Amino acid sequence: MSDKRIYLTTPIYYVNARPHIGHAYTTIVCDVVRRYYRLLGYDTYFLTGTDEHGTKVLQAAEREGLTPLQFADRNSQAFRDLWPQLSIVPDDFIRTTEARHKRVVARILQNLYDRGEIYFERYGGPYCVGCERFFTETELAESGGLCPDHQTQPVWIEEQNYFFRMSNYQQWLIDHIRANPDFIRPERYRNEILSFLAEPLRDLCISRPASRLPWGIPLPFDPNYVTYVWFDALVNYVSALDWPDGERFARYWPAAEHYIAKDILKPHAVYWPTMLRAAGIPVYRHLNVHGYWKSGEFKMSKSLGNVTNPLDLATVYGVDALRYFLMREMVFGLDAAFEETAFNERYNSNLADDLGNLLSRLTAMIHKYCGGRVPPAHALEPDDEAVLAQADAVVRSAPQWLDELKFHQLIEETLQAVRALNRYINDRAPWALARQGRRDRVETILHTAARGAVVALQLLEPVMPTKMAEALSWFGLEMNPAGIDLQLLKVGAPVAAGQVLFPKVRLDEEKPAETTGAAKPAVAAAIKNPKSTLQNGKPAMSEITFEEFQKLDLRVARVLEAAPVEGAQKLVRLLIDLGAEQRQIVAGIAQHYAPEQLVGKTIVVVANLAPRKLRGLLSQGMLLAAHDGDALRLVTTDAACAPGSPVS
């Protein structure tokens, strides 16, 4: 079996809230790294999923009047739906409510219990519901008595529970970390764990009474207790590979690379390896830990309410630009600031001005001076060879930068090669040479620039797969799945000219940048249509008075039935519940939603719109929807809301 294998995992994300930019970052990192390693000829496997048990899920479900499973189903689907929208393509998506996962958790627990690694005891201590764990007094002393992540006062809980003899593995873990310096990386997190392990390690409470928390995996040896959420969740990394006898486990587990944020360092660096050791399972290869995305001075956190929805920015700048910013802006392991001003500056500078400008001017000159086809290279001069060597050097260095988690460096070096190509064109001035009749030299310069540009596009494809595929198609090319091809450019191939890959985006300068509170993107307008009317950098809008707005009666409604309208490709007939009555609405959404997707949705409708007939059917109202390019998305509420509730 080849050693060129890699198993990439994100944390499985907790479903007590919807996905945000932190979830998107870790998952995009894994997707980008996986794509790079595929170009290097690796056999890759990429896992993500959702963590669905525990107190927080139970409480959140109760607040919305849902069962825990209904709540988990809905929020887990939100994660699953988001990934394709961000060009993320995992091989597997695991849920901790799946039977395949529960079986493995039960098997490991029973094995440890049978061998005396788990015991029963009464225990009391300060407990954070947000973290779902007990804290030591020492830990709380360092944060003023509050949970360091949630800034809340832990509650005292005292009860009988089952404990895993984690302390028995303290010295083994210390020895393993010291013998394998890159086991936890970057180094600062390795040192943090070694510092933590300098103090005596306590045994780990691995159960919760079912009387207090019924939502969890029952202990196989005592159904009166459910499994502690961390002991449950961490097992996903092997349950998804069909441990112990699955072919995927044998193939990929020796090459396991966990990617996490630093807030869950301790469970992954202490709980998980000791659990694996006790269960007789080899430990993972690397734990790769990144920092926080911050808004102002604070970590982005759903608990603090200052998170950003990744699709908000993707709507304005495009998914590939979002992926680019996240990968380029954060030095893996350090914290980074998420501000749209920085996003906008990097987008316009790196993507629109550097890369986009290179491609636009290069393809235009190939059309003007070379008949719209890739020209041949004649005698290469030292400056031609030098600019190609810079791009080739990035290709050769890519494996090292990947291994060292220097993703930002790999991207920046690629952009440096792009900037060098722009300088090369400026300095060689093929337009001036064309006026002098030096056709061979013009062709050589434009061939050299095109060849270097195609190498850069291949290097950036893992980060921006859609845009790079589009740009390669301008040269009549597709990515070579076997890897980066330095000779991919083909002489004589037709070239598409004058297209804009990254339209510039300017911010609304009247809106001050936000430094605290919710991390909402500033208003931005894409300059895609030069004839569009802009005011202060945003599309002009006609105004209405408050009195005119008050004439609209917006109401929450629940879809009871949905069916296609016979003979109409775009229309769907909806029966909606408005609380005091039921109504029929005919809507042109058939190309965006199947009828079965609509039943049960909570939507917003204009309830006082005058009735009208469509295809002979009476339509009493209008639903609200947002247009996202060619896509259409229904306006819904972010939590359960009674039908007929007014919207204001």
The catalytic residue positions are 20, 23, 128, 131, 147, 150, 299, 302
How many Å apart are CA 261 and CA 265, to the nearest integer?
7
Q: Would you call 141 exposed, middle or buried from its count of C-beta atoms within 10 A (0-12, 13-18, 19+)?
A: exposed
And the tokens for 349? 């500078």
Question: How would you classify the pairing of strands 336-337 and 293-295?
Answer: parallel
CB 127 within 8 A of CB 157: yes
Contact 552, 541 (CB under 8 A): no
* Start-end of H helices in 41-98: 55-63, 68-85
Contact 156, 127 (CB under 8 A): yes
DSSP type of residue 478: -
Query: Would you say the C-alpha torsion 316, 320, 322, 324 has a positive or negative sign?
Result: negative
**Do the beta carbons of residue 282 and residue 254 sit within 8 Å?**
yes
Rounded to whole angstroms, the Cα distance separating 330 from 344 reads: 15
**Phi, psi torsion values for 133, nearest 5 degrees:** -155, 160
Rg (CA), the chain: 28
Cβ atoms 152, 260 nearer than 8 A: no
Phi, psi for residue 289 in degrees, rounded to 5 = -115, 125
Task: Label residue 550 exposed, middle or buried (CB < 10 Å: 0-12, 13-18, 19+).
Answer: exposed
* CA 287 from centroid of its chain's CA atoms: 18
If DSSP states are collapsed to H, E and C, what string results for 485-514?
CCCCCCCCCECCCCCCCCCCEEECCCCCCC
With residue 178 as reference, give the H or E element that holds it. helix 170-179
SS3 of 268-300: the string is HHHHHHHHHHHHCCCCCCEEEEECCEEECCEEC
- CB count in 10 Å sphere of residue 251: 16
User: Collapsing DSSP states into helix, strand and coil, what is residue 392?
Assistant: helix
Q: Exposed, middle or buried: residue 150 (CB in 10 Å: 0-12, 13-18, 19+)?
A: middle
Q: What is the separation of C-alpha 14 from the centre of its chain, rounded to a whole number of angstroms?
A: 14
In angstroms, rounded to a whole number, what is the distance separating the alpha carbons of residues 426 and 428? 6
**DSSP classification of residue 199:** S
Q: What is the DSSP letter of 619?
A: E
Q: Which residue has the tokens 């109504």?
A: 583
Cβ–Cβ under 8 Å, residues 255 and 6: yes
End-to-end CA distance of the chain: 62
474 close to 341: Cβ distance less than 8 angstroms: no
- Sign, CA dihedral 200-203-209-210, equals positive
Output the six-digit token pair for 50. Answer: 């959702």
- Strand duo 5-9 + 43-51: pairing: parallel
The residue assigned the tokens 């001075």 is 297
